[in-house]
Structures are given as C-alpha cells and as structure tokens.
Structure 1
Amino acid sequence: MLCWTDSLEIAISLEETSPDIDPKTINFVDLRQLVMDLEDFEEGQSKCGERVLEAIQMNWIEEKE
C-alpha cells in the first residue's frame, strides 16, 4: 500500500507505469491523478499538497536520470 509520504516508492512506480511521461513537464493536477491511479495507492487526495507533489516529482526526475 502506497501513501502520499512514500514519495520515492511512488516515483519508482510512476517510472515503471508511465515511462513515456517527462516528470519535468507534468503539471501537479496530472501528477496527482497519476499517483491516485496507481494500483498500490490506497490513500485519498486529502493529504496531498504541493510539497508532497514536489517531492514525488523530484524523486521521479532522479529515477528517470
């Protein structure tokens, strides 16, 4: 089960499920939806804020490189 605070694990999952998406150019609305669509993600959007999405995005960029 993934939660919003699991930014590295989420980033790894996003890289595996959406390798064609450039994490440097994705907007936070789309990023939030991608995370919530992950199979292992079981938390609602209530605990999702800009800082959380930034952490996920930064980890995803690092995973891509």
Structure 2
Amino acid sequence: MAGKLRWTDVQDIAIELEERHPEVDNVNLRFTDLHRWIMELPNFADDPGRSNEKILEAIQAAWIEERG
C-alpha cells in the first residue's frame, strides 16, 4: 500500500489488521490491544494520541465487516 496510514484511514487499517491478525476475535477485543496493533502496523504514521473511542469503534466495525 502506497503512503502512510492515518487514523482516518479506517477501511485501509481494517484490511491491514485482518491480514496481520486473522486469528483474533475482532468482535470481543480490548481497545488497548486494538490501539497497539494499529500502532505496530509498518505503514501507520499518525500521532498515537489522536485516536479516541469513536475512531477505534469505527476501525473495529470495519475490521468485522472486512472479515465478513
């Protein structure tokens, strides 16, 4: 994927998470884990402090849909 991911790239983050963590129960997860996994994505380049519960919920929902 070209470019760097930011918190607003919800769908792209969800795709990356599914590729890297296909074994994870993405319905019942802790946002602390989700935040860490996003920060660990090699092409993620945004301020860790800019995330919030609403953003993490949107990423989780997109991830669940991606797996669908």
Superposition TM-score, scaled by structure 2 size: 0.92
Across the aligned residues of Structure 1 and Structure 2, the Cα RMSD in angstroms comes to: 0.6
Superposition TM-score, scaled by structure 1 size: 0.96
Please tell me whether residue 4 in structure 1 is matched to residue 2 in structure 2. no
Identity of aligned residues (%): 43
Runs of 4+ with deviation above 6 angstroms: none
Q: How many residues align?
A: 65
Choose the corresponding residue for 1:59, options 43, 54, 62.
Answer: 62
Choose the corresponding residue for 1:35, options 25, 38, 44.
Answer: 38
- Alignment gaps of 5+ in structure 1: none
SS at match of 1:3: coil
Report the AA paired with residue 9 of structure 1.
D
Q: Output the CA distance in 2 between the equivalents of 1:4 and 1:23.
A: 18
- Alignment gaps of 5+ in structure 2: none
